[in-house]
Chains A and B, each alone.
Chain A
């Protein structure tokens, strides 16, 4: 094992002085001949919510596993709060600093939720508070229920409680809402927002656009082991989302000179489509006014503002697709 010159950072108080909670540089991982990670580089500011967005198999989970010491990169550097998760001693310090919810956490079938929470409290040498944790993740009154009798979503929420129970500074969530119902998602999203308010650092992987857009301060779009873009959700949309569109279907409607000044019009069968760089709401209003003036009857009218999905498709040439 390598000898370290400096002392590892031990207390969360010292950790707060590190501006970048996580530094990942040129991470490469081979599985046999397959290059799963092809030079991943990013930094996560302390106290921010960072999202790795990509399709299944893009390399999000492998990246996250390299951050928590479950996987060793073939080459490249990872630093969590200045410590190296590939180093055994550093990882020992880090394990108390971070909390993790894995994609698939299987717990002993015959264990009850309360017992697992108590056992993990012992692992972290903290006082158990299962009732409070159960309430936080919507498992009130279910502490005596055995894992085998819990739904997949309930098990995921228990896994979230296990990740948060010891009040970690850095939280890693791997596809945290996969398999959760709407109730579970609301709970998880609310918890992540509370973590943000408490100044914690969160790294999450997801293939849900809505989740990434709603929670993340910064999003890295990952494709085939590479980061294809990194920015705030708003900037990703502004940079890569493309133009807004207004589509109108109306008998006897043809865009006149004034409407043509708003952008580019294209006619698809009997539908007119406007691609505009301006505010699409105003263009929509203008279209309605003109159609009414010329006596045309509008049969359908649609406006599309660019969103994160558009940016993702533009960046990767692929759709994310919900419920993959």
Chain B
């Protein structure tokens, strides 16, 4: 059994089928985040402001991580199951974790592309500076992806149909993006709202990511939240593994 070949072939096919041949998907993943950055950079201040953009670049990347987990993995799995694609794959020797890992690898590739584009646009258009250690930034990005993929997979496991998976993902993604410090600084809300919102894994992830990437903070300052994200990831993985059905 050549697991590596299975993984590489499946990941390449995912990229070709669900991204390169899907114009709508390309637009949403590549153009929309940049559009948000430009729009909000102008809207939140009376002109292009480096301070707003510096807040937004890691926020938008973080929001993309969330939707990657909820839509890109969770809803996608529900769709695969509803279309009887999972049960067909389940009849072949490909291990389920390889199939799953390929879906995640495809989403991580997209996320990396989105992050590079957003950072580049931020740097060249709005003079946003990334001050952090690249290894630490990558670590936080991958940890966040793991957290939201594992939580997203619960949606894919529990939702019986694509439609209900879609609904759950919408209900979660949109408010979370606005309540997790992604687009709007939550400190503008009166206390104790910001403190309560900082209990959400989405807020924790986005704030660590922002601190490590643009503020140039060190990972050790956020060890508590990093442990929290690891716990969220383990919990999500356990629940998904116990509830996920192929048919």
Contacts and interface: CB of A to CB of B under 8 A. Distances in A.
B16 A124 contact: no
A111 B17 contact: yes
A125 B9 contact: no
B196 interface: no
Nearest to B5: A122
A24 to B, nearest CB: 18
A115 B16 contact: yes
Interface string B92-120: 11100000000000000000000000000
Interface in A79-132: 92, 95-96, 98, 100, 102, 104-108, 110-111, 115, 118-120, 122-125
A94 B34 CA distance: 49
Contacts of A106: 83-85, 88
A116 to B, nearest CB: 8
Contacts of B88: 102, 105-107
- What is the interface of chain B mostly: helix, strand, loop, or mixed? helix
Contacts of A71: 247
A18 interface: no
Contact of A70 (B2, B9, B93, B247): B247
B22 A110 contact: yes
Interface string B12-23: 010011100110
Interface string B224-247: 000000000000000000000001
A68 interface: yes
A95 B93 CA distance: 6
Contacts of B89: 123
Nearest to A125: B2
A122 B84 contact: no
Contacts of A118: 9
A104 B84 contact: yes
Nearest to A124: B93
Interface of B: 1-2, 5-6, 9-10, 13, 16-18, 21-22, 83-85, 87-94, 247
6 contacts: A102-B84, A104-B84, A122-B5, A122-B9, A125-B1, A125-B5
